[in-house]
Amino acid sequence: MDITSSAFERSSGDSQDFGKKPVPTLNRLIGVFASLRAKLIIPYVILTLLIAMVGVYVITRLVTSSLSERFTNQLLEASRVAGDGIVRKERTHLEDLRLMAFTEGVPEALVARDSQALQDLLFPIVLNSGIQATTVVDLTGTEIITLARHPSSAEYIVSEGGDFSQFKIVSDILKNDQDGIGDKYAGLLVTSFGPYLFTSAPVRDANGELLGVLLAGTSLDTLLSDMKNQSLADVILLDNDGSLVSTTFVKPETGFGPVEINPGLINETKQSVTLDFDLYGRDYKSTYAPLVIRSNETGILGVALPSNFILTTMATSRTTFSLIFSAGTLATIVVGYLLAQSIAKPILRLRSVSQAVAAGDLNQNTGLRGTDEIGELAGAFDIMTLRLRDRTAEAARLYDETLLRNKELAEINARLQTA
């Protein structure tokens, strides 16, 4: 007992001396990170933060890729719809031309260059079919009559005597040329009312002899406006040199330079190209592709959609997912901290009790009860302490008895010596 007490006193004294010494900050930090709580919590927190950051990055990239892919698909679909719109209009022109060419009296009036008779025969068809412009040309390429609807008043204007011999869609028919599809052609013509999409067809007699050419046309402003409504995108039509012919965009103060392109971009690939441009201070993404009508490249067709909403949606998605993952990470860290505390607290209690017992205080008890491993360890430690306390008490009792017997023996020995 004396030895234990002395050892405890020395230990206590050493602890007091140690406590008086200044502890370096680095050692203190090392002690904090070396603690059981830190070993349980810090790796858990680091792993959770890494998973959260990777999760935000991956999901944001997936959302961004999905948005970009959907936007690109929407742009390509708009381009397809716009191209189909022109093809449908060209087919409508062919139906109208067929109806006019086979109208009784038209071939005879064409040969006779009777403009009034042609007007009387064709105007009802033009009016009922909503044809915006129709022209009859003789074998020399000279305009016999044109019926064109004025863009502003919607009244039909009559003109005569124009020279159409230089227009390819007319001259090819007059030369009896045929492409792989037939003897009908389509192209873009600029008139006094603006650019038009015209389709031409020959007029023949019963023997198949060429008598002249019929043309049916639609204003590109009207056509592109309809295409915009169908494709839900702004439409751009360029000639084969890449210069603007018509567009659904309102003319900006700086002009339409941003929407015009180098035709070499199309000529090299013969496929669609995607380009970005700035108009009205807004970002647009566009797709340009060759405009092919009846196997002929008539121009370049482009569609454009504002792309700023992608950036806005990306930023919103990034913020939303960051908040969600931050909340989830915080909740995970809190749960992990509480879990670590539930594990570390009984272990720390067991440590403090074991230190007290080691210092000689055998009256300590962990007070921990549980069915898990820590509870079993605490129970075993309490039993060990109890047995140690009992044996120490027994040793003390035997020691006291020994002292008493030694004293009695000393007294007996003293009496014997006296006697």
Orientation angle between helical segments 308-358 and 373-418, nearest 10 degrees:
20
Taking Cα atoms as reference points, which of 221, 218, 235, 231 lies closest to residue 97? 218
Cβ-contact 146, 162 below 8 angstroms: yes
Entry pTM = 0.61
Least confident range from 39-53, 86-100, 310-324, 403-417: namely: 310-324
Pairwise CA distance, residues 238 & 331, whole Å: 58
Cβ-contact 104, 188 below 8 angstroms: no
Angle, CA 287 vertex, CA 70 and CA 180 arms, to 5° = 120
Q: In CATH, which of 3.40.50.11740, 3.40.50.970, 3.30.450.20, 3.40.50.720 is domain 233-306? A: 3.30.450.20
Radius of gyration of the chain (CA): 49
Burial class for 169, CB neighbours closer than 10 Å (0-12, 13-18, 19+):
buried
Cβ-contact 180, 213 below 8 angstroms: no
pLDDT band per the 50, 70, 90 thresholds, residue 336: confident
CATH number of 102-232: 3.30.450.20
pLDDT tens digits along 29-88: 665 566 676 777 778 778 878 887 887 777 777 666 666 777 788 888 888 899 899 889
DSSP three-state, residue 22 = coil
Taking Cα atoms as reference points, which of 279, 408, 333, 417 lies closest to residue 49? 333
**Token pair 């039509």: residue:** 237
pLDDT at 3: 35
Q: Output the average pLDDT for the chain.
A: 83
pLDDT at 102 > cutoff 50: yes
pLDDT at 114 > cutoff 90: yes
pLDDT tens digits along 229-244: 998 899 999 998 889 9
Pairwise CA distance, residues 17 & 199, whole Å: 107
pLDDT at 224 > cutoff 90: yes
pLDDT tens digits along 183-215: 899 989 988 899 999 999 999 998 889 999 999
pLDDT band per the 50, 70, 90 thresholds, residue 313: low
Least confident range from 92-106, 128-142, 278-292: namely: 278-292
Pairwise CA distance, residues 337 & 343, whole Å: 10
Angle, CA 373 vertex, CA 371 and CA 377 arms, to 5° = 100
End-to-end CA distance of the chain: 38
- Residue spans of the domains in the chain: they are 24-59+318-412, 102-232, 233-306
Taking Cα atoms as reference points, which of 129, 124, 159 lies closest to residue 143? 159
pLDDT band per the 50, 70, 90 thresholds, residue 5: very low
